[in-house]
């Protein structure tokens, strides 16, 4: 069975990599589908986000990383994905993801969604907070893979 874990991954965090590692054990293939998400005005380009994710996840043999734009259900259909994996850290995430799962089921009855909670030690991590810390020159240790921390440190942040 093929699943997809989708998001903007701006940037990929240790919470994401933990979720991907856990989900990859449940499926024959897990596609990490990174959304272009122009509306979110990401700090890293789609190409940079895909590259960082590919390097961070290279040790997991049944994980493939790719970028996409448009509806996730169209991506899923084009790639033979029958399950979407979503992570939730809190009640707000759960409410949003539940609504999205119901909409996916309405638009694409052949696609299921599973919702996974984070491992406790990563439940506080969000890409939004990581971006803010990075922009202010703070430490990203224990929040993101080392290669992402290096990428963030080498980035010329606007003040």
Active site residue 127: yes
Question: Binding site annotation covers 92?
Answer: no
SS3 state at 122? helix
Closest CA to 72 of 87, 86, 84: 84
User: Considering 16, 24, 49, 131, which one is annotated as catalytic?
Assistant: 16
User: Considering 2, 22, 64, 89, which one is annotated as catalytic?
Assistant: 89
Question: Binding site annotation covers 80?
Answer: no
Active site residue 16: yes
User: Considering 40, 102, 121, 153, which one is annotated as catalytic?
Assistant: 40
Please provide the DSSP assignment of 124-143 as one string: T--HHHHHHHHHTT---TTT
Question: Binding site annotation covers 72?
Answer: yes
Distance from the Cα of residue 144 to its chain's centroid = 12
Question: Binding site annotation covers 40?
Answer: yes
Question: Binding site annotation covers 97?
Answer: yes
Question: Binding site annotation covers 122?
Answer: yes
* 92 φψ region: left (φ > 0), alpha (ψ -120 to 50), beta (else): alpha
Distance from the Cα of residue 136 to its chain's centroid = 23
Residues assigned a catalytic role: 16, 40, 89, 127
- Binding positions for substrate are 8, 40, 72, 86
- Binding positions for ATP are 8-9, 16, 87-89, 97, 122-128
- Binding positions are 8-9, 16, 40, 72, 86-89, 97, 122-128
């Amino acid at each position: 069975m093929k699943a997809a874990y989708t998001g903007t991954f701006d940037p990929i965090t240790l919470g994401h990599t933990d979720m991907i590692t856990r989900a990859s054990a449940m499926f024959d293939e897990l596609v990490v589908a990174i959304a272009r998400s122009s509306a979110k005005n990401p700090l890293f380009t789609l190409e940079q986000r895909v590259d960082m994710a590919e390097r961070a996840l290279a040790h997991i043999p049944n994980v493939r990383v790719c970028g996409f734009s448009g509806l996730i259900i169209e991506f899923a259909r084009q790639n033979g994905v029958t399950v979407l994996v979503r992570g939730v850290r809190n009640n707000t995430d759960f409410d949003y993801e539940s609504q999205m799962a119901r909409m996916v089921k309405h638009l694409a009855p052949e696609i299921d969604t599973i919702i996974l909670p984070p491992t406790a030690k990563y439940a506080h991590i969000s890409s939004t907070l990581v971006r803010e810390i990075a922009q202010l020159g703070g430490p990203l240790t224990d929040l993101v893979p080392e290669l992402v921390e290096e990428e963030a440190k080498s980035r010329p942040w606007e003040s």
